Structure 1
Amino acid sequence: MAMTALIIDDEELARGELKYLLDTTGNVEVLAEGANGVEAVELIRTWQPDVVFLDVQMPGLDGFAVLKKLLEADESKHQHLPQIIFATAFDQYAVRAFDVNAIDYLLKPFDRARVLQAIDRARLRLQEVSAAEGDTTPAGPSHADLRIDALLRLIDQQQTSRPSSGKIILQAHGRLLLVDQKDICYASIDEGTITVVTPTLEGQSKCRTLEELLELLDPSTFWRAHRSYVVNINHIREVVPWFKSSYQLRMDDKKQTEIPVSRAQTKRLRELFNL
C-alpha cells in the first residue's frame, strides 16, 4: 500500500524536484502540494497524510510554526500527527537538533538516495505507531506523547534561544586574542583549518568545523553562505551577480574578499536583501 504524502515548499522548482523523486519510488502517493505555512496547516488537517515534506523557511508560517500549531491544536489530540520530514538548505544547527529528536530532514538540492532513506524511516515509524496503537495494555504517557512534549520544548528553544554576542578566541602571531563577534567579517575553512577575518586582523579558530564555530555565533547575524564560508551579514559590502544567476559577496575587510554563494543558499540571499 502506498504511503500518502504532502509537499510544502514555497519554491515551485523544489516541489517539482521532490515530487519527481517521490513518484519514481512507486510507493508514495503525493496527495497535494502547498506553497506556505498557512496552506500547510489546512492541507494536513484536510488530507491527514502519512508523511509531510515540510520546508523550514516559508512565508507566513515557517516550518517551526507549522509543527507547533499542529502539536498545540486541540483537534490534533484526536488525529494522527503525520511524520514530518524537514527540507532545508541551511541552519545546520537546527538540522542536527531535529536528527537527535528523531525528526528526519533532507538537504537541498535533494539527493535521491537520501530521499529513499527518509521514506524508509518514515514507513518504519508508521509501522511502530500502528503496532503501539494495537497494544491495549493500560500505560502511562505514550512514547509519542512524550516525544511531542519534547518537540514543543525544542521548537520553543530554537525560536527563542540566541547565543550571547560575546567574544571569540583567535590565535594570531603566537598570541590568543579575544575578538568581538560584531567585528568578524567572515570565517573560512581550508584543509581543516578555520581562518577568521576582521577588519584589522586574521587569525585561526580552535574549532574543528564551521558547524562548531556557528554554535558560538549569533544566528541572526552569521550565515553560512557556502560550505566553506560563514559570513557576518553586517559586513557584506556588495552583492555581485555572477555566472548563471549565481552571486558573490564582496566583504568589507581590507582585501575586499569575494565569497561565493552556493546554489542552495541563493534563496536565503534573496530573502536577506529582497533581491
Structure 2
Amino acid sequence: MKIRVALLDDESLAIEELKSMLNAYGFIEVVATFTNPQEALDKIPDLEVNLVFLDIQMPGMSGFEWLEKLDNAPEIIFVTAYDQFALKAFEVSALDYILKPVNTDRLSEALERIKKRLKPDNDQAHKLSIDKRIFIKDGEQCYFVPLAEIFLLESVGNYVRVYYQDKKPLLHKSLNYMEEKLPDEFFFRANRQHMFNVTHITNINPYFNSTLQVELKNGIKVDISQRQSVRFKDKMGV
C-alpha cells in the first residue's frame, strides 16, 4: 500500500524540490501539491491523504492556523527554515519537524516514522467493541476504563485526556490513534481536539455558522466543526 501525500508550501520551488525527493521512494505517492493554504483546506479532506508536508510561515495563514481549521487531520510533517517552532509543532501532535534545506537522510528518517505509524498490526486492524476496557497508566495511578463509560476524549499534545465517571486520566496515545480503535457507532470526532460518546449526549443545539454543539451528561459542552456537523446530522438523523 502506498502512502498518499500532499505538499503545502507557498514557495513553488520548495514544493518541486521536495516532490522530486519523495518520488525516489516507491511507497510514496504525491497526490496533490498546494501553494495556497485555503485551496489545500478545501481539497485535502476529499483526497484521503495519509500525510501532509506542511510549511509554517505562509502569507495569509500560518501552518499552525491551517492545521487548526482542518478536521480529521492526517499525519503532519512540518518543513520549515525556522527552528524556533519545533516545540509548538510537537504540541499539535506533528509526526516530525524537518528544517530546510531538506536533507535526504533526514527525510528518510521521517518517512520511516510514517511507515511504522501506518503499518497495520493485529491490534490496529480491528476496532474495539464497546464492552471492552482499556488500561491507562497515568503517573503512579492505573485505571481499567470501560469504553461504554467514556464520554469524552480530548487531545493534549501527543496524548489524550480520557473523561469517564469523575476521572480524567491521561492516555499516552494520540486522538487520531484512538479514533482508529474506538467503535464508530458510539464515538464521533467533533473537531481536531475532541471525540465524544454519542450515548452520553443530553442535548444537541444549533451553534454558529450552521455548526452544532452537544451537551454531555456531565454538563460539558462540545462544539462540532462545520464539516463534522454535516456528518453528525447524517449519522444521528437530526
Structure-1-length-normalised TM-score = 0.46
Displacement of 1:35 in angstroms is: 0.1
Displacement of 1:93 in angstroms is: 3.1
Aligned residue for 2:68? 68
1:217-256 aligned within 5 A: none
CA contact (8 A) 2:80 2:99 kept: yes
Q: Distance in 2 between matches of 1:94 and 1:40?
A: 21
Displacement of 1:49 in angstroms is: 0.2
Evaluate the alpha carbon distance shift between residue 101 and residue 70 of structure 1 in structure 2; reply closer, same or farther with a 3 A threshold: closer
Evaluate the alpha carbon distance shift between residue 4 and residue 131 of structure 1 in structure 2; reply closer, same or farther with a 3 A threshold: farther
Q: Distance in 2 between matches of 1:83 and 1:146?
A: 9
1:145 aligns with 2:175: yes
Structure having the higher helix fraction is 1
Displacement of 1:70 in angstroms is: 0.9
Evaluate the alpha carbon distance shift between residue 49 and residue 146 of structure 1 in structure 2; reply closer, same or farther with a 3 A threshold: closer
Count residues with an aligned counterpart. 143
Aligned residue for 2:215? none
For the residue of structure 2 that corresponds to 1:24, the secondary structure is: coil
Q: Distance in 1 between matches of 2:103 and 2:44?
A: 25
| Counterpart amino acid of residue 94 in structure 1 | F
Aligned residue for 1:122? 114
| Counterpart amino acid of residue 79 in structure 2 | A
Q: Distance in 2 between matches of 1:130 and 1:15?
A: 36
> Which stretch has the larger CA shift, 95-104 or 108-117?
95-104
CA contact (8 A) 1:89 1:107 kept: yes
Q: Distance in 2 between matches of 1:136 and 1:68?
A: 28
CA contact (8 A) 1:86 1:106 kept: yes
What does the per-residue CA deviation read over 1:133-172, in whole Å, with 9 as the maximum and x for residues that have no partner? 61313334473338899x86xxxxxxxxxxxxxxxxxxxx
Q: Distance in 1 between matches of 2:46 and 2:13?
A: 24
1:18 aligns with 2:18: yes
Structure-2-length-normalised TM-score = 0.52
Give percent identity, aligned residues only.
33
Displacement of 1:131 in angstroms is: 4.3
CA contact (8 A) 1:9 1:54 kept: yes
CA contact (8 A) 2:80 2:100 kept: yes
| Counterpart amino acid of residue 121 in structure 1 | R
For the residue of structure 2 that corresponds to 1:25, the secondary structure is: coil
| Counterpart amino acid of residue 80 in structure 2 | T
Q: Distance in 1 between matches of 2:126 and 2:88?
A: 30
Evaluate the alpha carbon distance shift between residue 147 and residue 56 of structure 1 in structure 2; reply closer, same or farther with a 3 A threshold: farther
Aligned residue for 2:51? 51
Displacement of 1:86 in angstroms is: 0.7
Displacement of 1:2 in angstroms is: 1.3
CA contact (8 A) 1:36 1:60 kept: no
Q: Which of 85, 96, 99 is 2:87 aligned to?
A: 96
**Pairwise CA RMSD:** 3.0
Of the two, which has the highest radius of gyration? 1
| Counterpart amino acid of residue 108 in structure 1 | K
Q: Distance in 1 between matches of 2:122 and 2:41?
A: 23
Displacement of 1:102 in angstroms is: 4.5
CA contact (8 A) 1:36 1:61 kept: no
CA contact (8 A) 1:53 1:86 kept: yes
